């Protein structure tokens, strides 16, 4: 595999291989000296056309811990039309001799275009495109879940056994599925790894054509908690910036949304005792998730951020170091 554009790029063996590699990376991150020489002399560009806090910093930390040089390019505010600016930027990067591009773009499909246009001839990693895909987020979620499945109770996280998957785990993903590349990537990757996924959302926040997705769909969160008995519940951010105006008519009001789809204290207590609470961040506290749930001992939200660095180190290593180290590539 040359690029990572979609969770669909990973079959079961490849996904498990990334998670196992991320465990090896995580072990190095427990040391005082966190830097590995693996990508010394390589240059990675972070090309961010859309806002990001943790994904950009996480990719930067991951590349630096592998000793790569990192160039951060934030395209916010550019007035050039999307296609042209992407092509011009790609050709500039190619001319400067970069070895890998991490791209986040508001247009679904932009990373695919970059990878297959011929404008640039290096591995492309999708760090989130429009409402389409966010494969490294799904990988870090799978990594976090795999660790907890092998620990006793919600508070524990241990390195998962090599070669293990998510066989039989029940995952409930709740909220703004319509605008969520995190939900799309997770449905694909988690089911590839053997988990059962249930999506819970109001009908207005579900995309058309869901029948083809390999998951169950419900509109009632309490029913999902009672029937699906989740090992993990993943709350999605209500993406107000992708709704045409505040509230957007997608739901009656924020308090009403919270009442029906928010993870409050009562729902937290209704979860199975070992269940973990996940959120990709950034959170709307009080809307999709209460402070009580976000800050509870079963919340893995901060842990997900830490795991993101290990997972991105693994992906950068597998895609960029492949030709130096025979047999390590995907």
Instruction: State the residues that interact with ligand NCD by CB under 6 A.
Output: 54-55, 128, 134, 137, 181-182, 237, 239, 280-281
Distance of CA 8 to the CA centre of its chain: 13
Tokens of 85: 């600016």
> Closest distance between ligand NCD and the C-beta of residue 113, in Å?
19
**DSSP, residue by residue, 245-263:** STTTTTSS-HHHHHHHH-B
> Strands 232-235, 276-278: parallel, antiparallel or unpaired by DSSP?
parallel
Greatest pairwise CA separation for the chain in angstroms: 57
> Closest distance between ligand NCD and the C-beta of residue 316, in Å?
17
Tokens of 44: 């990675």
Q: Measuring CA to CA, how many Å separate 186 from each of 195, 235, 252?
A: 10, 12, 27
Residue in the block written with tokens 């009001």: 253
> Closest distance between ligand NCD and the C-beta of residue 133, in Å?
9
Q: Measured from the CB atom, is 146 or 184 closer to ligand NCD?
A: 184
> Closest distance between ligand NCD and the C-beta of residue 109, in Å?
15
Q: Measured from the CB atom, is 101 or 305 closer to ligand NCD?
A: 305
Q: Measured from the CB atom, is 230 or 280 closer to ligand NCD?
A: 280
Report helix, strand or coil for 111.
helix
> Closest distance between ligand NCD and the C-beta of residue 285, in Å?
13
Q: Measured from the CB atom, is 137 or 310 closer to ligand NCD?
A: 137
Q: Measured from the CB atom, is 228 or 288 closer to ligand NCD?
A: 288
> Closest distance between ligand NCD and the C-beta of residue 207, in Å?
15
Q: Using CB positions, name the residue nearest to ligand NCD.
A: 237
**DSSP, residue by residue, 275-316:** -EEE--S---BTTTB-HHHHTSTTB-HHHHHHHHHHHHHHHH
Tokens of 101: 């591009």
Q: Measured from the CB atom, is 107 or 151 closer to ligand NCD?
A: 107
> Closest distance between ligand NCD and the C-beta of residue 304, in Å?
8
Q: 243: which residues sit within 8 A by CB, 6+ positions away?
A: 179, 250
**DSSP, residue by residue, 179-228:** T-HHHHHHHHHHHHTT-EEEEE--GGGS-TTGGGSSSEEES-HHHHHHHH
> Closest distance between ligand NCD and the C-beta of residue 134, in Å?
5
Q: Measured from the CB atom, is 55 or 296 closer to ligand NCD?
A: 55
The CB-based long-range contact list for 250-257 (8 Å cut-off, 24+ gap) reads 250/176, 250/178, 250/202, 250/204, 250/205, 251/202, 251/204, 251/205, 254/286, 254/287, 257/202, 257/287, 257/288
Instruction: Give the DSSP H/E element, type plus range, for residue 98.
Output: none
> Closest distance between ligand NCD and the C-beta of residue 183, in Å?
9
Distance of CA 328 to the CA centre of its chain: 23
Q: Measured from the CB atom, is 170 or 239 closer to ligand NCD?
A: 239
Q: Measured from the CB atom, is 42 or 181 closer to ligand NCD?
A: 181
């Amino acid at each position: 595999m040359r690029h990572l554009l979609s969770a669909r790029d990973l079959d079961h063996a490849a996904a498990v291989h990334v998670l196992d590699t991320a465990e090896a990376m995580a072990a190095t991150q427990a040391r005082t000296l966190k830097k590995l020489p693996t990508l010394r002399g390589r240059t990675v560009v972070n090309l961010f056309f859309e806002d990001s806090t943790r994904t950009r910093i996480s990719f930067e930390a991951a590349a630096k811990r592998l000793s790569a040089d990192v160039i951060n390019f934030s395209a916010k505010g550019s007035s050039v039309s999307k296609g042209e600016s992407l092509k011009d930027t790609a050709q500039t990067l190619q001319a400067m001799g970069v070895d890998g591009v991490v791209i986040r773009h508001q247009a679904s499909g932009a990373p695919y275009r970059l990878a297959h246009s011929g404008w640039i001839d290096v591995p492309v990693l999708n760090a989130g495109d429009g409402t389409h895909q966010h494969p490294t987020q799904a990988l870090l979620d799978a990594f976090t879940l795999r660790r907890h499945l092998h620990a006793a109770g919600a508070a524990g996280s241990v390195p998962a056994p090599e070669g293990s998957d998510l066989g039989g785990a029940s995952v409930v993903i709740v909220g703004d599925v319509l605008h969520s590349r995190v939900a799309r990537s997770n449905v694909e990757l988690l089911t590839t790894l053997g988990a059962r996924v249930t999506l819970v959302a109001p009908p207005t926040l579900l995309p058309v054509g869901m029948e083809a997705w390999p998951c169950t769909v419900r509109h009632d969160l309490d029913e999902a908690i009672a029937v699906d008995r989740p090992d993990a519940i993943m709350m999605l951010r209500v993406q107000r910036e992708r709704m045409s105006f505040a509230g957007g008519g997608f739901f009656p009001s924020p308090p009403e949304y919270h009442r029906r789809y928010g993870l409050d204290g009562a729902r937290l207590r209704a979860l199975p005792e070992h269940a973990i609470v996940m959120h990709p961040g950034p959170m709307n506290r009080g809307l999709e998730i209460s402070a009580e749930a976000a800050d509870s001992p079963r919340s893995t939200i901060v842990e997900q951020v830490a795991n993101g660095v290990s997972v991105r180190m693994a992906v950068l290593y597998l895609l960029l170091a492949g030709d130096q180290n025979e047999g390590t590539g995907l």
